[in-house]
Amino acid sequence: MKEVAMPRATPGPPDGPSGEEPGADEKSATPQRGDGRPARRKLTHVTLPGCWGALLLACLSFTPSLLPRDGLIQGVISGITAAIGYGLGVLAAFVWRAFADREPRAPRRWAWRVFLVAAIVLLAVSIGFGQYWQYEIRKLMGVKDYSVLLAVLSPLIAALVLGALVVTGRGLRGAYRWAAKRLGRWIGPRAARGVSWILVVALAYAVVTGLLLDGFVGLANAAFSLRDTKTPEGVQQPMTSARSGGPGSVVPWDSLGWQGRSFAGTGPSTADIAKFVHHPADEPIRAYAGLASADDAEARAALAVKDLKRAGGFQRKNLLVVTTTGSGWVDPASVDSFEYLSGGDSATAAVQYSYLPSWISYLVDQSKARETGRALFDAVYEEWSKLPPDKRPRLFVAGESLGSFGGEAAFSGEFDLRNRTAGTLFVGPPNFNTLFREFSDHREAGSPEIQPVYKDGRTVRFADDPAAEIPPVGRPWEGSRVLYLMHPSDPIVWWSPRLIFNKPEWIAEAPGRDVLKSMFWIPFVTFWQVTADLPFSTGVPAGHGHTYTSEYVDGWNAVLRPAGITAHDLAELKKIIAAGD
């Protein structure tokens, strides 16, 4: 009997939502080679979840930060945050598949079309709002520089940064797979994967911190050490014994370094100060020791104090110890204001601890700032304490940025500052400063982080604009005065790794006078935005960011409490300081 072929049963609808037969998505998501093994993905391959993550975080990167930024910086920020978003999107998809217990599926064409339409709309809206916010920040700070070309190129820059970071991530993943495959020949697959991850992470860390970071710091150190042998234009060796490097000085002029020679060879003259105070003035004393002046921080501090004593600094009425920033820079606005307000009856001591500029030292030379700040103050204090109480000068401490970090290192807390100094002025303190964090974190309830009140303001106070009344208004501020000056828009003050995952109180509070109300915290995004603000913190007009000039006049006036200085005098001095900046 002839066999009749029976028709095959038609299968029911597949389990997956795509409407394709089971396994079709996996096959299309993971291309196969001719021998049945998985094919390598193309370098340009991207996943839809990753693209959604990149798109969302890229759009959020256009939200405002503390400082205005041009198209180049915006592109870099957008590219970095988009790369983070891409990684988070891929991770989220991986976790979802783990819970759903299924393999990757290739997205349908309509899903990509939806994404492309959404990308065009969302990016257009985000860029538009971003340009508006940047305009508002520039107007708030009086910034007029703006490049239309860089603004137009910003998306391209972001795409290049995103692509570079994604390729780097895939390179690390490829290295992991290569290592796991070879280790799998000798050990179990799980152990091979674990060891491979450890090896790849260790290698990446070694490359970034050892090869890249150390190499960059080494090159920067070589470049700036060469500059340290030169003298700034217009600066000449002093002809007075009141300055280090001058006649009779125990510190050779050639050893002071670039910043030391600028410090010793400039400043207001006796005639300038006399004209301001309307009576004869003394010649200010400035003592300084450079990196080439002695072998270590303690020896340099001892040498600076020896030169200070030689010049008669301990016989002056006011003695100032300054911890420098990075390359040994002392803000002339600070020391000049101190000398003017003290009528020239002053002496200042400072020591260099690095060749590197402040923003690099901020990252790699923090321990040197601490060591030098403590060594210099201790050396000055030791000599000062030997004097009869009625013969001692009033002892003050100052430091800006990393200099405030080093200046704090000599003290254990509020009462130590109060008992061993007549006054302190710290400006633009980094967020990691020990005492700054102690005073801010333990502020009185209800006082904002941008202007905290600590212990009723009895010793330590904070001000954005010291020309106005410094809170707590009406409370006694007797004895030694410790004043912190910090702008609400200063990224040096507010930057912290905690911004990655934790919303800071200064963003949750009412914004400062030069911060947009539109600024809000976003995980990952805000951290990179404020990080990008750091290198450009001084590239804004005075009174904003990390640029402090005339604030020193009112700050020192509050700390020094000089007699006979009127509001008109302070206004005139601000003009002098601003002109010399």
What is the residue extent of each domain of the chain?
44-198, 234-487+548-580
Q: What is the mean pLDDT of residues 167-194?
A: 87
- What is the pTM (predicted TM-score) of this model? 0.86
Residue 97 has pLDDT above 70, yes or no: yes
Lowest mean pLDDT among 211-225, 233-247, 262-276: 211-225
Instruction: State how far the Cα of 196 lies from the Cα of 188, in Å rounded to an integer.
Output: 12
472 contact partners, CB below 8 Å, separation of at least 6: 453, 456, 457
543 contact partners, CB below 8 Å, separation of at least 6: 487, 514, 549, 550, 551
At 42 the pLDDT is 57
Sign of CA dihedral 382, 388, 393, 398: positive
Q: What is the pLDDT of residues 289-316, one digit of tens each?
A: 999 999 999 999 999 999 999 999 999 9
Query: How many of the other CB atoms lie within 10 Å of CB of 274?
Result: 16
- How does residue 24 score in pLDDT terms, banded at 50, 70 and 90? very low
In 413-511, the DSSP E strands lie at 423-427, 460-463, 481-485
At 21 the pLDDT is 36
At 44 the pLDDT is 61
Residue 518 has pLDDT above 80, yes or no: yes
| Token pair 């590219």 in the structure block, residue | 79
Burial class of residue 473 (count of CB atoms within 10 Å of its CB; 0-12, 13-18, 19+): exposed
399: number of CA atoms within 13 Å, CB side?
A: 32
207/502: higher pLDDT? 502
Say what the alpha-carbon torsion angle 260, 263, 265, 269 is, to the nearest 10 degrees. -160
Which phi and psi angles does 487 have, rounded to 5°? Answer: -80, 145
Summary mean pLDDT of the chain: 88
Nearest to 67 by CA among 158, 144, 138, 163: 138
DSSP per-residue string spanning 246-302: STT-SS-GGGSHHHHHHHHH-S--HHHHHHHHTS--PPPEEEEE-GGGSSSHHHHHH
511 contact partners, CB below 8 Å, separation of at least 6: 488, 517, 519
- How does residue 389 score in pLDDT terms, banded at 50, 70 and 90? very high
Sign of CA dihedral 174, 175, 178, 184: negative
At 385 the pLDDT is 97
| Token pair 């060594």 in the structure block, residue | 375
Largest CA distance in the chain: 134
552 contact partners, CB below 8 Å, separation of at least 6: 331, 333, 334, 337, 425, 427, 485, 577
Q: What is the pLDDT of residues 144-177, one digit of tens each?
A: 888 889 999 999 999 999 999 999 888 888 888 8
Instruction: State how far the Cα of 402 lies from the Cα of 326, in Å rounded to an integer.
Output: 7
361/325: higher pLDDT? 325
Calculate Rg over the CA atoms of the chain.
Answer: 31
- How does residue 120 score in pLDDT terms, banded at 50, 70 and 90? very high
Residue type, 172: L
211: number of CA atoms within 13 Å, CB side?
A: 7
Sign of CA dihedral 146, 152, 157, 162: positive
Residue 33 has pLDDT above 60, yes or no: no
Nearest to 525 by CA among 126, 108, 7: 126
Cis peptide leading into residue 472 (ω within 30°): yes
Instruction: Give me the architecture of the 234-487+548-580 domain, per CATH.
Output: 3-Layer(aba) Sandwich (3.40)
Instruction: State how far the Cα of 240 lies from the Cα of 164, in Å rounded to an integer.
Output: 57
Lowest mean pLDDT among 213-222, 227-236, 529-538: 213-222
